[in-house]
A = this chain, B = another copy of it.
Amino acid sequence: MLFKVEMTVNPPSHLSEEEFNAIKIKEKNYAEELQREGIWVHLWRVAGLYANVSIFEVRDNQHLHDVLMALPLYPYMNVSVTPLCQHPSSIK
Contacts and interface: CB of A to CB of B under 8 A. Distances in A.
A47 B64 contact: yes
B89 A31 contact: yes
In the complex, the count of this chain's copies comes to 10
A23 interface: no
A49 interface: yes
Contacts of A61: 1-3, 47, 83-85
A75 B20 CA distance: 13
B11 A13 contact: no
Q: Which of A5, A13, A48, A87 has the most CB of B within 10 A?
A: A48
A62 to B, nearest CB: 4
5 smallest beta-carbon distances between A and B, as pairs? A48-B81, A47-B83, A47-B61, A44-B84, A62-B85
